[in-house]
Structure 1
Amino acid sequence: MKYAPASPEERQKFKSTIVPMLREAVKVELSTIPLYLYSIYSIIKDDGKAGTQARRNMSIVVHQEMLHLALAGNLLTSIESGPQLYSAQFVPTYGGEDDVILHSNIPLRLEPCEKSNLECFLKIEAPYQPPPKLTYDEESANIDFRLHAAPDTERALEQYNSIGEFYTELEDMIKNSGPFITFKNKDLQFAPTEFFPTNMTQVTDQESAHNALKVIIDQGEGSVGVEDAHYQMFLDLYMKRTEWECYAVPYSPTIKTYKDNKLVYALALASNAAYCYLLVTIQKTWQVSDVVLRRALIPNIHSIMVNIMTPLAEFMVEEPFEKGKAAPTFQFYPTEAGEDPSKVDYAAVELQEAIKQRLEEAIDLVHDAKKKEALSVIKFSVDRVPWPIPILTES
């Protein structure tokens, strides 16, 4: 499709709006993953009954959110540089008065999978309800999209009440992006041969950009009654909530919550380091085009989540804490290398070592042989996901 040429000023104005929105999209997807994981971990396993099914259904949502994170990152990478996930300013926080999604009134809270928790998820994933259809005169008043394509970014990001509403606005921008955006960096994006083969899209033009966004919208914020939409999944879980039990885990715990319990404190630190190791792994993938390095990086994503983060969380929810059980905090774990994207390799190596160090501390603190063995297995798994990028020591 041919478009009327846009001036450099118009292109820059459009880009100055869509880039912050895409960064916000990446953060939205990242924000929801700990929310849903925490809820899953809180559900007590019940040998294939309602609790197990609830965990399985919510795991499908997390799986799709990982896809959505990758797609949102591909969109951003195709227009500018890839996302920086490993940053204290970017890693979402939970439980505070200002911890909300998309500057809305929907709180970000780590909670057990009770009805109030599922109600929050329903608000997050609520389908967008479009405004009433405009009359011809009202429609004609919007003379030229270019003149209205770049509202004040801060104001725009404050106006959304659900992810669905936000993505509908972003979809409109993508549909009109032809004259304004030159898509690039295909070799830095997740490809179907690397990650989620049936739904991954590399963004090379306006059509593929829209296809990527449509996957996020259709899976995440589909209309009521769409079987695989997150909203419908959470609605079904909400209706069945009385059928399973939850551990008495804390509400939005932080590292400070556990400071007086040495074992839980060490486990929480190990969990945070693992979470951040996952983030730097995903971030690095948008920075390298070398096929060999990508083949080493991307499998680590699954290994970190399945073989480190999940068993650590499962161990924690069995560990007594105050009058209930412990659970992960999903917080930023600082390193000496810091947050500079050019030093992400050094941060990654530090994070892997930190996981092992904190696990060793926990192993020394437990006296039960089975617990020692369980933690040792996790530590062994950490050794199996080394950072694949060679680090050159400075002379």
Structure 2
Amino acid sequence: MQLHQVETEHLHPIETVDDLKFYLYTAIQLEHATIPPYLTAMYSIHPGTNKDVYDLIRVVVVEEMLHLTLAANLMNAIGGIPDLTGEGFVPSYPTYLPNGETDFKVGLGKFSEETIDTFLNIERPPLPTDSLKGGSKHSFGLTNTKRSRKLLIPAFKSADGDELHFYSIGEFYRAIGDGITKLTQELGEENVFTGDPSKQITPEYYYSGGGEIIPIYNEEDALAAIRLISEQGEGHDGGIFDYEGELSHYYRFQQIKLGQYYHEGDEPNAPSGGPLAIDWDSVYPIQSNPRITDYPEGSELKTAAMDFNIFYKNFLEQLTIALNGQPDQLISAVGGMFRIKEMSYQLMRNPISDDNENTGAPTFEIDAIS
């Protein structure tokens, strides 16, 4: 199953269950697309330095894995098939995010101020309503722009042919929530949530410290999962914390940008906590957006990079098995993250060549593996 290859008939607001499946496939792909950049920046930090920064990024990675799993639960709940193995699921970095944001690309790079700026774009809250250009009654925060290039996965088109796209991840998920409510009202809950309940990832199979997994059996469960995903990213009702009282992703990253912690009761963009010490130089000088072809033929570095990609492909295959009815596989799959860390360090500690002082890094070129 490769739902991401179905494009043109899905370039519109959610009207059918198949539309909803397409959006949820995009959601799974979106959640995953953020993880390699976050991991790359995190592992580029010299061990033993920038511990608080490392921990801040790690919390976000853990919660992104939770979001991916919740998106898979949503897909299973409506009778879809979560698939992390299809061609194109892992993007070629740098890439536009699949929810249609058009003003920035996400790449693989070392921990730096520029990288944190990109992470802030990924997790940004929606624009104020009065600043939006264009829009749609079917979703939140859609902006209107004329473009000729093709996105990884486009959003949908207006009646005059302009592509409409989401400014933030939260707006994209609100559109999914709107679609679920619309379909439930029109078709009946029993005709939307037709999936096998045994395929749901439940708390006994998932514990990450990044929030509780939500099994999804009905509209109420689905909207609760969407709320958790959205608010962990951008905050609750315009605030800096989610509804569980944890600092949202955007403001976690903003602490790094501003070099200061948020404190309970703070307003957005005005942290009043203590200073956050950062050493921007304590990082491996990794190659940005590396490719296998950047590494010398026959070198240990190239072999290590290829081994990483094979391992990561197997990791995604095991996750797919876990998300499709064998939830006991999830524990060992997530355990594979420790091996990803070890293999990343193996690459990042070694220069590419004698005349290139940059070090290696994972390339995440999964489609190139036969």
Shorter-chain TM-score range: 0.7 to 0.9
Structure 1 residues 202, 312: closer, same or farther in 2, change over 3 A? same
Cα separation, 2, equivalents of 1:153 and 1:128 = 16
Contact 1:272 1:333 in 2 (8 A): no
Instruction: Tell me whether 1:161 sits opposite 2:172 in the alignment.
Output: no
RMSD: 2.6
Which residue of structure 1 lines up, in the alignment, with residue 30 of structure 2?
28
Cα separation, 2, equivalents of 1:182 and 1:171 = 13
Instruction: Tell me whether 1:246 sits opposite 2:265 in the alignment.
Output: no
Corresponding letter in the other structure for 1:225: I
Match of residue 313, structure 1, among 332, 344, 350: 344
Cα separation, 2, equivalents of 1:175 and 1:100 = 25
Corresponding letter in the other structure for 2:156: E
Deviation at 1:202, TM superposition (A): 1.2
Any stretches of 5+ residues in structure 1 without a counterpart? Answer: 1-11, 134-140, 146-151, 337-395
Contact 2:310 2:369 in 1 (8 A): no
Task: Calculate the TM-score normalised by the size of structure 2.
Answer: 0.74
Corresponding letter in the other structure for 2:215: Q
Which residue of structure 2 lines up, in the alignment, with residue 235 of structure 1?
254
Corresponding letter in the other structure for 1:20: F
Contact 2:120 2:254 in 1 (8 A): yes
Cα separation, 2, equivalents of 1:334 and 1:185 = 33
Deviation at 1:242, TM superposition (A): 4.8
Aligned residue pairs: how many? 299
Contact 1:255 1:265 in 2 (8 A): yes
Any stretches of 5+ residues in structure 2 without a counterpart? Answer: 1-13, 139-153, 260-276
**Mapping 1:260-279, distance limit 5 Å:** 260=297, 262-279=299-316
Task: Calculate the TM-score normalised by the size of structure 1.
Answer: 0.70
Instruction: Tell me whether 1:213 sits opposite 2:226 in the alignment.
Output: yes
Which residue of structure 2 lines up, in the alignment, with residue 68 of structure 1?
67
Corresponding letter in the other structure for 2:171: E
Match of residue 39, structure 1, among 38, 41, 48: 41
Corresponding letter in the other structure for 1:56: D
Contact 2:81 2:324 in 1 (8 A): yes
Cα separation, 1, equivalents of 2:155 and 2:112 = 35
**Greater C-alpha Rg:** 1
Cα separation, 2, equivalents of 1:260 and 1:170 = 46
Cα separation, 2, equivalents of 1:155 and 1:335 = 34
Cα separation, 2, equivalents of 1:261 and 1:251 = 21
Which residue of structure 2 lines up, in the alignment, with residue 121 of structure 1?
119
Contact 1:74 1:82 in 2 (8 A): no
Instruction: Tell me whether 1:173 sits opposite 2:179 in the alignment.
Output: yes
Query: For each residue in 1:108-158, what CA deviation from the matched residue of structure 2 results, as whole angstroms up to 9, or x when unmatched?
Result: 21111111111111111011235259xxxxxxx97xx8xxxxxx9633885
Q: When you count helix as a share of all residues, which structure comes out higher?
A: 1
Which SS does the other structure have where 2:205 is aligned? coil
Deviation at 1:162, TM superposition (A): 2.1
Instruction: Tell me whether 1:225 sits opposite 2:240 in the alignment.
Output: yes
Query: For each residue in 1:206-229, what CA deviation from the matched residue of structure 2 results, as whole angstroms up to 9, or x when unmatched?
Result: 000111111111112214522520
Which residue of structure 2 lines up, in the alignment, with residue 288 of structure 1?
325
Q: Which runs of 4+ in 1 moved over 6 A?
A: none
Contact 1:101 1:107 in 2 (8 A): no
Structure 1 residues 259, 100: closer, same or farther in 2, change over 3 A? farther
Deviation at 1:100, TM superposition (A): 4.1
Contact 2:234 2:240 in 1 (8 A): no
Which residue of structure 1 lines up, in the alignment, with residue 106 of structure 2?
108
Cα separation, 2, equivalents of 1:59 and 1:248 = 20
Which SS does the other structure have where 2:18 is aligned? helix
Which SS does the other structure have where 1:38 is aligned? helix
